[in-house]
Structure 1
Amino acid sequence: MPDYFHGYTVVGLVAVVGVLFVCAAFAAGRLLRPVVPTPEKMLTYECGVDPVGEGWAHTQVRYYVYAFLYVVFAVDSVFLFPWSTVFAAPGYGATTLAEMFVFLGFLAVGLLYAYKKGVLEWT
């Protein structure tokens, strides 16, 4: 029984050492850095251009929606490539084909929902 938990002990020890290392690095950074706040340091930096107006800007929600849709289809492609290698293996053809149609059906329903809500229109 002790040999079984030895692997977990090593993983736990490495995790604790990693957390301690990160805490030590943050503490050293806090102790060693100079803290001299000036008005210039408190300004918002924008590519060397002096800031004009407020520091807050409104962002259109549609940009986030397009980013979310990109992530959905990126995940889809991540699942399609391994599926294509397993699909060619003997004995897995019909099962993996049915599973992939279910997966693509869920994605199609999500895309149809986004289309019906008008999310895909750029106006």
Structure 2
Amino acid sequence: MFLLQKYDYFFVFLLIISFFSILIFSLSKWIAPINKGPEKFTSYESGIEPMGEACIQFQIRYYMFALVFVIFDVETVFLYPWAMSFYNFGISSFIEALIFILILIIGLVYAWRKGALEWS
């Protein structure tokens, strides 16, 4: 007996979607106009003529702020399910969460002392 009978509809759906996506990409490649002019290779700046180079260097502090934000945003994502199931797991999960928060606080203090959070 075939063990994946309950997935038949899924596989049919997957085949249909794959066929249509390949068809749509092929049609767009076939129908799209091919214009290779100088305007095609300029960077787009809301319809305004570009000034200077398109590739500029950003200062590292933007990335540091973004990195610290992402770290603490992910912390929230990990702590929310823990908070929802706190009563089910008992004191051991509380200690694990405290260790997790302590590691993140140590990382925050390290970034603070290194000057990663200074905006000068």
TM-score range, shorter chain: 0.7 to 0.9
What SS does the corresponding residue of 1:2 show, helix, strand or coil? coil
1:11 offset after TM fit, Å? 5.2
Separation of aligned partners in 2, 1:79 and 1:6 = 36
Partner of 1:108: 105
- Aligned-partner Cα distance in 2 for 1:114–1:15: 46
Aligned to 2:94: 97
Q: Which residue of 2 aligns with 1:74?
A: 73
Q: Distance in 2 between matches of 1:86 and 1:80?
A: 10
Q: Distance in 2 between matches of 1:51 and 1:41?
A: 13
Pick one of 112, 116, 119 that aligns with 1:119.
116
Percent of aligned pairs with the same residue? 34
TM-score normalised by structure 1 residue count: 0.77
Q: 1:20/1:59 Cα in 2 relative to 1: closer, same or farther (>3 Å)?
A: farther
Cα RMSD of the aligned pairs, angstroms, is 2.4
Corresponding residue for 2:84?
A: 85
- After TM superposition, the score normalised by the length of structure 2 is 0.79
- For 2:98 and 2:68, how far apart are their aligned partners in 1? 19
CA distance in 1, matches of 2:33, 2:60: 39
Alpha-carbon deviations, 1:45-82, whole Å to 9, x = none?
A: 11222111222111112112211111111111122222
- State the shift of 1:23 in Å: 3.0
Q: Which has the higher contact order (CA 8 A, sep 6+)?
A: 2
- Could you list the runs of 5+ residues in structure 2 that have no partner in the other structure? none
Equivalence for 1:53: 52
